[in-house]
Amino acid sequence: MTERNHDRETGRVTVPDDRRVVITGIGAITPIGDSAEGLWAGVRAGQSAVRTISRFDASPFPSHVAAEVAFDPLDHMTEKRSRRLDRFSQFAVVAAQQALADAGLTAEGISAEGAGIYVGSALGGIAFAEEQHEAYVRKGVHGVNPMLALSVFGGAAASNVTIELGLNGPSLSNGNSCASGMIAIGEAARLIRDGRVDVMLAGGAEAPLAPLTFGAFAMIRVISTRNGEPETASRPFDKGRDGFVIAEGAAVLALESLSHARARGARIYAELLGYGTSSDGHHMTAPRPDGAQAAHAMTLALADAGLAPDEIDYVNAHGSSTVLNDPTECQAIRLALGDQADRISVSGTKGLHGHALGATGAMETAICAMALQRGHLPGTANLVDRDPACDLDIVPPGGRDEQVTTLLNNAFGFGGINASLAMRAI
Catalytic residue among 178, 330, 368, 390: 178
Residue 238's CB is within 10 A of a number of other CB atoms, namely 22
3-state helix/strand/coil string of 127-187? HHHHHHHHHHHHHCHHHCCCCHHHHCCCCHHHHHHHHHHCCCCCEEEECCHHHHHHHHHHH
Listed in sequence order, the DSSP H helices in 203-353 are 211-219, 258-263, 292-305, 325-337, 350-353
Verify whether residue 178 is a known catalytic residue: yes
Give the CA count within 13 Å in the CB-facing half-sphere of 110.
32
Give backbone dihedrals phi and psi of 25, rounded to 5 degrees, phi first: -150, 145
Q: How far is CA 423 from CA 153, 327, 405, in A?
A: 32, 23, 8
Q: How far is CA 247 from CA 60, 72, 214, in A?
A: 19, 17, 10
Tell me the catalytic residues.
Answer: 178
